[in-house]
Amino acid sequence: MTEKYDVIVIGAGPAGYVAAIRCAQLGLKTACIEKWQNAKGEGVNGGTCLNVGCIPSKALLDSSYKYHEAKSELSVHGISTTSVKIDVKAMIERKTKIVEQLTGGIAGLLKSNGVTSLFGTGKLLSGKEVELTDHKGGKQILAADNVIIATGSQPINIPVAPIDGKIILDSTGALELTAVPKRLGVIGAGVIGLELGSVWNRLGSKVVLLEAMTDFLSIMDQQIAKESLKIFTKQGLDIRLGCRVTGSDVKTKEVVVTYQNSDGEEVKETFDKLIVCVGRRPFTEGLLAPDCGVNLDERGFIFVNEKCATNAPGVWAVGDVVRGPMLAHKGSEEGIMVAERIAGQKTQMNYDIVPNVIYTHPEIASVGKTEEQLKQAGEPYNIGVFPFVASGRALAANDSEGMVKLIAHAETDRILGCHIVGPSAADLVQQVAIAMEFGSSAEDIGMTVFAHPTLSESVHEAALAVNGHAIHIPNRKKRK
């Protein structure tokens, strides 16, 4: 007999498990399928984000920064340290324990909310039926009134640097290194490349990032991107722009990478390890039966409308597998929106206010429009910039690199975007995201009382600077 549910969710990453929990909270009989297995071969929830993405990478970023700080930055505080060492194996074990704690926590949340957890691979058939293949190969057919696809994404592999799991690694393999490579190459200087490069650079690797684009972080506000590039170069990251990798030759314990530099010259470079971080693609292999009614767009993403509904009635898709930025929080909010719409609510999502963060140190965070986007659209704007070097709290913490940039409409003063490189940028930009959600102006933030001394005062001053009212820096002339 076919098991019937109100909702079946395929994928238990941040988009899927959140959708499943919300569906269950709304009284819908819900099942959630996850194919992920841990090292013991056990089914675990959390998808890429918790198992080999957001969470483990942040654990390594924090551990590596504490090591770097203890070794190189405490003397300014009058603290002397000697013989600071890093135990990479212990660092990796800590990361693994955090992952286990959080994935176990999700299992508990699903259970406590009444969601049926199923482990294996789901395939969407016609008529909103789902074929579940468990990890032992057993198959069963499930049926639902609604199906939510949340299968996420996977790393893009490139033929010129095939992953072997030993010398040439993808982002997953880079999280499992048990020793610090002396020479580390990274193909791609985007979010993942910068984060992983930062980890091993702090631990002592000579890190070279080869980026095919001629502009650094081209999707970010370019004033912030240029400032970030200066900071990362100062930290020792060797970021080479306009470099296209054309081949790789793996030796016994090293790899020789051939690339064409920005001048068109062929260059060879030898590394002990090479990490390929050229982006991610939607995971749809084996997911869709030919007659399921779900279509893909020209880039391989599942085609959905603004409410995340596919072409097939009652079938929805959320997260990395659909259009838009591949961000865990974007997927989670889509999951909530879809669950509530299935339950008859009219929930919508504001795609104009989705924060984006790079968890380097300093962090880079943004929300809303960049200055370049506004110029291209011909929209009038004013900007306010406040450097962290003018922040008493940042100076006291010896963490004063970077700036806050706030952009507001020149006529209405409504906040259009905020871009930050600096300490706690991820948390600071969220303040502006909340303000934008409520349609706030730069003046609204400027009139708000901020505690002193705090890093958030930098947001306050940037907002004041938009209209030439900054107190703790000279004001720039407003744009005409």
Active site residues: 452
> Is the distance from CB of 16 to CB of 335 less than 8 angstroms?
yes
d(CA 300, CA 328): 19
What one-character-per-residue DSSP string does 454-471 give? -TTHHHHHHHHHHTT--S
Q: State whether the Cα torsion 204-209-215-220 is positive or negative.
A: negative
Strand runs (DSSP E) across 11-58, as ranges? Answer: 30-34
| Residue indicated by tokens 């039926």 | 129
Residue with structure tokens 């907002």? 463
Q: How many CA atoms lie within 13 A of 242 on its CB side?
A: 8
Please state, in angstroms and as integers, the Cα–Cα distance from residue 300 to each residue in 94, 239, 263, 281, 303, following that order: 36, 30, 33, 8, 9
Terminal C-alpha separation, the chain: 71
Q: Report d(CA 411, CA 388) in Å as an integer.
A: 28
E-strand stretches of 335-450: 356-358, 363-368, 381-387, 403-409, 415-422
Please tell me the total number of residues recorded for the chain in this structure.
480
Round to whole Å and give the CA distance between 74 and 171.
31
